[in-house]
Chains A and B, each alone.
Chain A
């Protein structure tokens, strides 16, 4: 059986909110290392990979591999009933028909309990190769969100060029063009404001802004976002969570010119 207790419902609320517009029905794969999710969007352009390590829960118990096939719209409806600060416990039997969610208020004696019917989801599982990326950029997640939103007003796609000069986000549209360039930057007082660029070779790739803006819904999960790029491979956008847990998005580059 599965029993996983989260100190704050907020974490799961934010994760589900960040991915629910990209993917609809997903398997939450539970085993003794934690709860993982991998799903592609309908167009097979982007892939979400979430890992909530067992250390992110206290306690965490999962004796066998259990796949919880959940419709994220249903999960959102139920999670709306949880206060951000509630303690959230997920429970399921070994061959479950439902997943049970319990929300406990730390301040009052209120306990809410919900069951969500599970679905049988036959999901493709893709192997993601370990990649030595040519460029890795860590930057404030709010800054990345702002850049994507600003450039989407002009164009549907953005080129991300990384060189030793810095990283340049550029777009061209019907009304004109725009770009934002960031250089490495260290803020001793506010490390969340740091921009760190780790480059082994220059990279230039073009991506759909619609997807990037969608990924940025995860911004509230982490002050920093990491972008990993290599020529002609998908972009990795990573939001690191506590206890080595993470929410990652992969986006296939645009091809041709």
Chain B
């Protein structure tokens, strides 16, 4: 099955 990535893992906290 294909998993759904989290947007947070791509963008840094600012």
User: Which among B3, B7, B11, B13 is the interface contact of A254 at CB below 8 angstroms?
Assistant: B3
Which of A68-76, A87-95, A119-127 lies on the face that meets chain B? A119-127
Which of A96-104, A182-190, A245-253 lies on the face that meets chain B? A245-253
Q: Total contacts A to B, CB within 8 angstroms?
A: 60
How many residues of B sit at the interface, in one of the four size bands? Answer: 10 to 19
A80 located at the interface, meaning its Cβ lies under 8 Å from any Cβ of chain B in the complex: no
**Chain A residue nearest in CB terms to B11:** A126
How many residues of chain A have a CB within 8 Å of chain B? 25
Cβ–Cβ < 8 Å partners of B4 in chain A:
43, 45, 208, 252, 254-255
Cβ–Cβ < 8 Å partners of B13 in chain A:
124-127
Q: With A206-B2, A256-B2, A257-B2 as given contacts, are A251 and B7 in contact (CB-CB < 8 Å)?
A: yes
Chain B residues at the A interface, C-beta cutoff of 8 Å: 1-14
Chain A residues at the B interface, C-beta cutoff of 8 Å: 40, 43-47, 124-129, 157, 206, 208, 233-234, 250-257
